[in-house]
Amino acid sequence: MSVTPMMAQYLEIKAEAPEALLFYRMGDFYELFFDDAVAASAALDIALTKRGKHLEQDIAMCGVPVHSAENYLMTLIRKGFRVAVAEQLEAPEEAKKRGSKSVVKRGIVRLVTPGTLTEDTLLDARAHNYLAAWCEVRGKGALAWADISTGAFHVAGSPRVRLGPDLARIGVSEVVLAEDSGVEGIVEDLGAAVTPLGRSAFDSGSAQGRLQTLFDVGSLDAFGSFDRAELGAMGALVEYIEITQRGKLPMMRPPKREAASTLMAIDAATRRNLELTRGASGGRDGSLLWAIDRTTTAGGGRLLERRVSAPSTQEDIICARLDSVDWAVTNDTLADDTRATLRRAPDMDRALSRLSLDRGGPRDLAAIRGGLEAAEMLFSRLSKTDLPLDISDLIGQEELLRLLDAALVAEPPLALRDGGVIAPGYDTELDEARKLRDEGRGVIAALQKEYVDATGIGSLKVKHNNVLGYFIETTATHADKMRTDERFIHRQTTANQVRFTTVELSELETRILNAGGRAQAIEERIFASLSSAVLAASDSIFAAARALAELDVATALADLARGEGWTRPRVDGSRAFEVTAGRHPVVERALKRDGAPFVANDTALTAEDGAAIRLLTGPNMAGKSTWLRQNALLAVLAQMGSFVPAEAAHIGIVSQLFSRVGASDDLARGRSTFMVEMVETAAILNQADERSFVILDEIGRGTATYDGLSIAWATLEHLHDVNRCRALFATHYHEMTALSAKLTGVENATVAVREWEGDVIFLHEVCDGAADRSYGVQVAKLAGLPDAVVARARAVLTALEEGEREGGTKPKAMIDDLPLFSATPVPVPAPKKESAAEGRLRDILPDELTPKQALDLIYELKSLT
């Protein structure tokens, strides 16, 4: 069976992107065929149909409307698919000129992948969507990453051992790797998509040429000095963007080189344990970012996320950020006015990116206009203040702003094809076309009146039909008079009427019929001109957007500090860690929502020379993990340039932050909970140095008691003697409290509790000293274990403790002595039987008793007891 021309075209285009689902444009729909249709119909839950046959097999088919395609794209990308979009590259009328059966030209205009999204509906406005590429040259690795929706472009040295932590810090969606790179597993563990690319794409020599072409420069020296691995990573990134965008490169900022030593190192496990930008559910809720984000702009939200993910280790940068927040705290009225203006500032970064890729619309131009208006207004308001931020980038585009303000209507439509984008009065030719399009009847009526006045024939009419178009109609009686006027050209004679036209009417008819298309064409031309003007000023617009984001973050953090009673930390190059009345920002926000107070605690962990470790003991549910995490988060907040939830804080700069808190297994990689714990602990002990801050919770709990105690003991000694770091170490092994007498840098701390009638009351207060008990049975009772189980646990615990007080018991003897394991079990307390009086009271409704009945009931109950 022969293949139809359309299906031949489809198969040819599909061969260009065999790994992607092909969205094949047919009129108002994107159609999918064959296996693509089967996969898409299942993923999108849409109907699967068929269209003819191919090689004697039915052709599976499904489709989605063009106007709502973005929603379907979002679903497919989230489910791990890649999509190739094939558009019609010519109008059907053009195809017909080649023959009535010619197929409209189509071609792939874009590959949609997780790291190359630009549409607002497919992206989180307050988060970056990074695409990364990693290259290794002679054992030296480098990572380049870019967000094509904002133009951000970065590169950094990243040896193989650092690749996982670096990707976790950046939060990438997709990573481009050389074939057989050997690091695919690292990327997949972080949940990012892996895209292999030929090794030639990572060649540093050709990469330099691609980068020079991208930035239209003859040399990269102005951007910095890059080694071969860095050039290879950047070059591969640019080549992949060019492949997916089919040659249309987005507007990119010059690459910014980052040094690892300027940022706090936080590995993936620590980020997960501390929930910096993602909560336990995987979303923002419950994370540190969720608790502190009061930014009002999308750009500010993205900048805040970057700072939370990568706190600085440079004292001058940290202090400059704190100065900005301090200014906004002090000048609260001016800061609030600034925030009110920022709320009206659109996302210029992403609007500029879409315009550079020819995917922009009228509202993207309006976003540039709105952002520049806000920038100019803020500069006028703040330039004469002592604001410590450099805001000079907010101005410099006054001419562009005037152009956009004059050209665009106040509220442009979503799509250019909807019309009405350009303001009336901006273009004379456009105004004329619109008048003809919108007021054609009025123009014809005016011309009819002119003809009536000229001929004196009151019954003369200008009419229209589909055969003749516009014509002048009069009765046969007056026809002779019109024939004497050379202007009137005879068209048709009927039984009662004679029809004429004029050159003027024919030209007007042509203009009216073409007015709609002409108006559209003029608007498209003006839109293209405005877009070119915006793109020509892209560097200044990016700079203004960055300045707006800086203002947003500073005033948002100030609003948080004022509202929550946070204070400015002292951050310096020492090894201090002194916190007065510190609080956990996320837990405090959750408790405040429920109307409950948070118990603040001090932390003294300063180390002039050697280790400074607090060994924390106390029961579960007393707040040990909260105290550990809150101190780690205080370090993050201070070094990202934020005030902190405390009465006072002195933080010596932390170079590396490590956290081993919580328990989880990794079944996919065959790791038990204990194995995961040991892997994470090993990473800490192998990497931590004297400028690190480490929090460890319950090391060794996943194995036998003596094994676990031995591992915890040795770990604490290693932290003290080898790593010599600042650390908080929580444990239930009370035997370890003896180490404070042996290790000079270790001090004991405990969480205070009180017992009351067999129950435990948590005070959530951290104080000096050591706990003598874990209160596990009491906590089990609070959790709702049956009374019989709690009573049995108390009996076993008492027997074990008595064995210890008597000088210890051999394991076998202990088991034999314990009633739990003996042949004759200890009697389990029987459920308490209800008394007659209790049974009688259960049936009483007090509100329904009269005084006399209540008195009689008292006498009755007395007789039953």
Q: Given pLDDT bands bounded at 50, 70 and 90, which one contains residue 814?
A: very low
Q: Which residues contact 718 (CB under 8 A, 6 or more apart)?
A: 685
pLDDT band at 764 (very low <50, low <70, confident <90, very high): confident
Nearest to 414 by CA among 362, 346, 350, 344: 362
Spatial distance between the Cα atoms of 169 and 309, rounded to a whole number of angstroms: 6
Q: Is the pLDDT of residue 109 over 80?
A: yes
Instruction: Write the pLDDT tens digit of every residue in 620-652.
Output: 777 889 999 999 999 999 999 999 999 999 999
User: From CA 39, how far away is CA 571, in angstroms rounded?
Assistant: 55
134: which strand partners? Answer: 143, 177
- Indicate the SS3 state at residue 136: strand
CATH homologous superfamily of domain 5-112?
Answer: DNA repair protein MutS, domain I (3.40.1170.10)
578 within 8 A of 649, measured Cβ to Cβ = yes
User: What number is the average pLDDT over the span 830-856?
Assistant: 75
624 among annotated binding-site residues = yes
DSSP β-ladder status, 256-258 and 461-465: unpaired
Segment 97-104 mean pLDDT: 84
The pLDDT of residue 249: 86
What is the tens place of the pLDDT at every residue in 671-703? 677 888 888 899 899 999 999 999 999 888 777
pLDDT band at 51 (very low <50, low <70, confident <90, very high): confident
Q: Please list, in sequence order, all residues whose beta carbon lies within 8 angstroms of the beta carbon of residue 572, skipping any fewer than 6 positions away.
A: 315, 650, 652, 653
Q: What is the pLDDT of residues 217-239, one digit of tens each?
A: 999 989 989 999 999 999 999 99
CA dihedral of residues 267, 269, 275, 279 (deg, nearest 10) = 130
Strand partners, 106: 88
CA 275 from chain centre, in angstroms, equals: 14
Q: Is the pLDDT of residue 828 over 60?
A: no
- Give the pairing of strands 152-157 and 256-258: parallel
Q: Per-domain residue ranges for the chain?
A: 5-112, 123-258, 315-397+537-564, 428-525, 570-778, 793-832, 834-865
**Is residue 295 over pLDDT 50?**
yes
Predicted pLDDT at 811: 46
Cα-based distances in Å from 351 to 348, 409, 541:
5, 17, 11
Tokens coding 743? 């290790």
Q: Are 643 and 665 in contact (CB under 8 A)?
A: no
Say if pTM beats, i.e. exceeds, 0.85.
no
Tell me if 271 sits within 8 A of 168, measured CB to CB: yes
Q: Which of 241-255, 373-387, 591-605, 730-744 has the highest mean pLDDT?
A: 373-387
Q: What is the pLDDT of residue 703?
A: 77
Question: What is the chain's percent helix, strand, coil content, to nearest 5?
Answer: 50, 20, 30
The mean pLDDT value for 580-603 works out to 93
622: annotated binding-site residue? yes
Which H/E stretch holds residue 59?
A: strand 57-65
Q: How would you write 662-713 as a 3-class SS string?
A: CCCCEHHHCECHHHHHHHHHHHHHHHCCCCEEEEEECCCCCCCHHHHHHHHH
Consult the annotation and say whether 101 binds a ligand. no
How much is the average pLDDT of 387-394? Answer: 96
- The per-residue pLDDT for 863 is 78
- CATH architecture of residue range(s) 123-258: 2-Layer Sandwich (3.30)
| Residue-by-residue DSSP string for 396-465 | S-HHHHHHHHHHB-SS--SSGGG---BPTTS-HHHHHHHHHHHSHHHHHHHHHHHHHHHH--TT-EEEEE
Question: What mean pLDDT comes out for the span 110-127?
Answer: 92
What three-state secondary structure class fits 162? helix
Report pLDDT digits (tens) over 80-96.
Answer: 999 999 999 988 888 88
Give residue for tokens 């274990």. 785
- The owner of tokens 């031949």 is 8
- Which CATH architecture is the domain 315-397+537-564 placed in? Orthogonal Bundle (1.10)
Mean pLDDT of 110-118: 94
In 93-114, which positions are buried (b, 16+ CB within 10 angstroms) versus exposed (e)?
A: eebeeeeeeebbebebbbbbbb
> For residue 664, what pLDDT band results from cuts at 50, 70 and 90?
low
Higher pLDDT, 669 or 240: 240
Q: State pLDDT tens for residues 259-277.
A: 888 999 999 889 999 999 9
pLDDT for 861 = 78
Of 8-22, 174-188, 272-286, 765-779, least confident by mean pLDDT is 765-779
Tell me whether residue 623 is annotated as binding.
yes
Question: How many angstroms separate the first and last alpha carbons of the chain?
Answer: 98
At a CB cut-off of 8 Å and minimum separation 6, what does 809 contact? 803, 817
* Among candidate residues 587, 596, 588, 580, the one with its CA nearest the CA of residue 564: 588
> Residue type for 858, please?
I
% pLDDT > 70, the chain: 93
DSSP calls for 451-513: HHHHH--TT-EEEEETTTEEEEEEEHHHHHHHHTSTT-EEEEE-SSEEEEE-HHHHHHHHHHH
Task: Summarize pLDDT for 463-512 with one digit per residue, the tens.
Answer: 988 788 889 999 988 888 888 888 999 999 988 899 999 999 988 888 88
* Rounded Cα distance, 838 and 836, in Å: 5
Q: Which long-range contacts link 140-144 to residues 24+ away (Cβ below 8 Å)?
A: 140/227, 140/228, 140/229, 141/229, 142/227, 142/229, 142/230, 142/232, 142/233, 143/167, 143/170, 143/233, 144/230, 144/233, 144/234, 144/236, 144/237, 144/255
Establish whether 461 is an annotated binding residue.
no
The reply to whether 315-397+537-564 and 428-525 are identical in fold is yes
Q: What is the mean pLDDT of the chain?
A: 89
CA gap 785, 780 in Å, rounded: 6
Phi, psi of 24 (to 5 degrees): -100, 110
- The whole-number pLDDT of residue 807 equals 57
d(CA 773, CA 765): 16
* Nearest-angstrom CA–CA distance, 185 and 169: 17
Residue 668's pLDDT is what? 47
d(CA 13, CA 106): 8
Sort strands 570-572 and 648-652 into parallel, antiparallel or unpaired. Answer: parallel
Task: Identify the CATH homologous superfamily for domain 570-778.
Answer: P-loop containing nucleotide triphosphate hydrolases (3.40.50.300)
Among 214-218, 400-404, 711-715, the range of highest mean pLDDT: 400-404
Check if the beta carbon of residue 147 is closer than 8 Å to that of residue 255: no
**Per-residue pLDDT tens digits for 408-439:** 999 999 889 888 999 999 999 999 888 888 87
Task: Tell which residue, 269, 280, 282, 292, has the closest CA to residue 584.
Answer: 292
Supply the pLDDT for residue 823.
43
By three-state DSSP, how is residue 239 classified? helix
CATH 2.60.15.10 fits 428-525, yes or no: no
What is d(CA 148, CA 143) in angstroms, rounded to the nearest whole number?
Answer: 16
Residue 734 has pLDDT above 90, yes or no: no
Angstrom distance (rounded) from CA 860 to CA 863: 5
- pLDDT band, residue 832 (cuts 50/70/90): low
Least reliable range by pLDDT among 172-176, 776-780, 792-796 = 776-780
pLDDT of amino acid 509: 85
pLDDT of residue 669: 55
